[in-house]
Chains A and B, each alone.
Chain A
């Protein structure tokens, strides 16, 4: 039995909790309830015939008052950096967080999720921005927790990357 820890990082209100809840419990809520500290969820997957138990650490978003604590990332086999497509500043936060995370986790795989793709017309992040992230050699997946778009794919993709490490 393989168990893996995945951490969700990103600025506040980008949809980390929504993505986890969508993936684990198939639910979505419009209501915004900010995460305090960390909430842990569990999901069992079968990837390429292997049973994997994912422990998902959904941590609070980074804001001016609360920096993400590096300790939460310790021991992660992979992480998601979540960006809110409708808020450009969340991409900048993402870049800072990636730096911190890669130091703490010693370069485990990660994927950048640009969330709220159902609001594409309101996005402040354009294709050029996305291209430039991809040029860094990072994986980028556009998701929507609301419309259940590419959520499962994202988790399966990261799990695969972790197993192949």
Chain B
């Protein structure tokens, strides 16, 4: 006030250009400058602002010139910081945390990486389809599976709870979400305790400012302190504040129940297994809610989803039902035994045994609407003794003629009806070849007499005569034809013998003469008869029916052409 008055007086007194000019000459300052200086001197606030602009600069200059040393300044700053901490530790903590945070995080991150890795392992070893899908998307996004799991399913989730001895940092007990599996809890506990110590030390704050949350990436670690132990909960997402209360109650319960154990604690953690039930209460989680959307759309979507799902379920059920019907159908068939029925890679697989005579299963498969793309039949061959199979086998082997019925019962093949003697004969020889048959019953089988009259057969044989130009049995085309008809007749003689238990023989007569050299002629004629028998044998006539014979013309009432062969049938 005083100064203002004085300066006003000064101006009043010396108002006028002359004095101003004089002042400028004396001080080198004009009026405005002089006024500013005056204001500065009289107002300490203004002065402080003004001086602060060049103070740091001048201190730096002083240090550079060696006029002040850093060491001289240090105590001053230390004192200031000390005072500041005492006044308000939180303020310094806030300032320091960004600096220390990364170091702390790095320290924990390594261990939590292990934790997440082990999480990954346990999860991957116990895979369910749900997990598989998650893992797939994890691969796509490049996020670790565990992280995906954490971030997708829950608004928040407490995955692990540690009970840590406060003094030693030892893990007293560890509870994990059942899906998670155990991790290196001991080390995590010690790490957390070390971090607690570090933070406490660094902030020098005493009583109630204990650490209560640590952030590591997307994970938070919530800590609840008790006098002897702390609970650390590894939390994903944003849990509600009620979790704090749950944790507080848990740590209180632990202390209440383990007073004595804490008192005498020497590293033996067995007693703290009982604290598990308190810790488990902290393992809370809340599933993500479905996002709200327009109900009309939601309902439409729901209907669609249900429809599609319904269709697939129906189709699935229908296919299964059809398959089961097919399996029952096949299993009922004789000659087939089902030994296994399962599904593999979306394909129905049927295992079993199948007799060669059984029905074609492939066509059955098709008739039930399946094919090789959705069904596989794996059959091992076997021989079935089921009635139908034995009968089929018998029919294939015995080739019964029309009018014959074959059935099978308890090892006995029953053949009934009417059959010719030849087939019956073959039946009696061959029935043993039918696997499963050990007896033949032909009581109801009658012989069908379809054999031509013996005389007719004999005539058909005896009418033939073969003449050869040279001493050989070469036949021309006409002779061959005759030969075929002879053969047929000869076979009929054989059949006649079998059916009638007779012993008719065909004498193959080769004609010769006694002239010149009887013995030589006889020999040649016999050779010819034998060669002819051989031909007949090759044509299917049993050689036991045939007998070679040489006849000399000289012995005959009517001579026959030499080098010819004729036939006579006799009963032996």
Contact = CB atoms under 8 A, between A and B. Distances in A.
Interface of A: 1-5, 36-38, 40-42, 52-53, 55, 57, 69, 71-72, 74-77, 162, 165
Given A69-B201, A75-B167, A162-B267, 17 more contacts: A3-B268, A5-B190, A37-B103, A37-B107, A38-B107, A38-B198, A40-B190, A55-B168, A55-B169, A57-B169, A71-B201, A74-B168, A74-B197, A75-B165, A75-B168, A75-B170, A165-B266
Residue in A2, A3, A42, A55 whose Cβ sees the most chain B Cβ within 10 Å: A3
B186 interface: yes
B184 interface: yes
10 contacts: A1-B269, A3-B170, A3-B269, A4-B267, A5-B190, A40-B187, A42-B184, A55-B186, A71-B197, A71-B201
Interface size of B as a range: 20 to 34
Nearest to B189: A55
A78 to B, nearest CB: 10
B190 A36 contact: no
Contacts of B168: 3, 5, 55, 74-77
Nearest to A59: B194
Contacts of A77: 168, 266-267
A86 B161 CA distance: 46
Interface string B412-437: 00000000000000000000000000
Contacts, number: 74
B141 interface: no
B105 interface: no
Interface in B262-318: 266-270
Given A4-B267, A36-B103, A42-B186, A72 B194 contact: yes
Contacts of A57: 169, 190, 194
Residue in A1, A4, A55, A76 whose Cβ sees the most chain B Cβ within 10 Å: A55
Interface in B146-176: 165-171
Smallest CB-CB A-B distances: 7 pairs:
A75-B168, A75-B167, A71-B197, A40-B190, A3-B170, A5-B168, A4-B267
A72 B201 CA distance: 10
B350 interface: no
B484 to A, nearest CB: 99
A2 B171 CA distance: 11
Contact of B194 (A2, A4, A37, A53): A37
Contacts of A72: 194, 197
B200 A71 contact: yes
Contacts of B169: 5, 55, 57, 75
Nearest to B272: A1
